[in-house]
Amino acid sequence: MILYRAEADVCDAFISFLEDSWTFESSHIKQKQKQVNDELDKCEDYLVNLAIHVLLMYKDELGPSIANLRQLGENLKRPEIINNEKIETVEVKRRLEEEYMDAEAKLVTVFSVVDGIKRQFYGQDGTISRKGDETMKELLDTLQKLEDDFESINRPTLELETLGKSEAKSKETLEGSPSSSPTQPTNDDSASFVDALPRIQTPRPDHTSNPETVVLTPRRWMRENVRRSLSLAINQTTGTLESSFKSPKHRKGKSMDPAAELSRLKLELELENDSRIHPSEEINDWCD
């Protein structure tokens, strides 16, 4: 009986040790989860403050930039610029076109960044899904109006782009049929420029007919490229953050449940005790 009591004390001590270990591990997991959640809240606060700061800066700078782009477009449409073939005038027109293209590219990049921020802060139901609801909503609404103002600017036909597209198209034609005679240059520069623009196929809303072919205008082409670059960068950053928060156990595909492990050990101890069969003589000797 003394040995039975000693064995029972050992089993009780071992079970108590397992229970204490499980309690400690559970407390450690909860503390770790709380620490991770606190860090995520801090990161979210930093992200919101950074986004608001960037949007405020864009809000202050976009108005004058859009007005400057509109003025450049009007200057390019002036009769003395279009109809004058003097070398000085041609040089002035070239500089104006370069300034216009540079200003337009910067605005396209800015509005693409704003669209990326909007996708990160708006949920699928169209509501702000992060902190800073009112401030963020007001800024995004203001920037949307500025974007509509930017899109309302009629883009002039730029000779720099027209000549570049025409030369590329002529080169492709010559490479495709080297034995054929050179084609006569067309007098309609705008038509040749539109024909040379890239095209993409987009699904129709009804999903029943063939995809619709959409012409990528220079402005839309720039926005598409910037949007893809931003999406790729955001996806890579998100994937890196998600993998960094996963524990080594989850990365290996193994999950340990402390409660289930404790129950299994208790059951094994009970089965081991029940399976012990001692001869009656040995039990009588212990009793004596």
192 alpha carbon, distance to own chain's centre: 36
Minimum mean pLDDT range among 22-26, 47-51, 173-177, 190-194: 190-194
CA distance 175 to 180: 10
Q: Looking at per-residue confidence, does 27 or 166 come out higher?
A: 27
- With 50 as the cut, is the pLDDT of residue 7 above it? yes
CA distance 271 to 249: 30
Give the pLDDT mean for 187-208: 45
Q: Looking at per-residue confidence, does 127 or 69 come out higher?
A: 69
Angstrom distances, CA of residue 61 to CA of 29, 56, 107, 113: 48, 9, 10, 14
Minimum mean pLDDT range among 15-19, 158-162, 219-223: 219-223
Give residue 70's pLDDT band: very low, low, confident or very high (50, 70, 90). Answer: very high
Q: Which of 63-67, 75-79, 81-85, 177-181 has the highest mean pLDDT?
A: 63-67
Q: Yes or no: say if 137 and 117 are a contact pair by the CB < 8 Å rule.
A: no
pTM beyond cutoff 0.85: no
pLDDT for 14 equals 85
- With 70 as the cut, is the pLDDT of residue 154 above it? yes
pLDDT for 116 equals 85
Q: Yes or no: say if 97 and 14 are a contact pair by the CB < 8 Å rule.
A: no
Q: Looking at per-residue confidence, does 212 or 154 come out higher?
A: 154
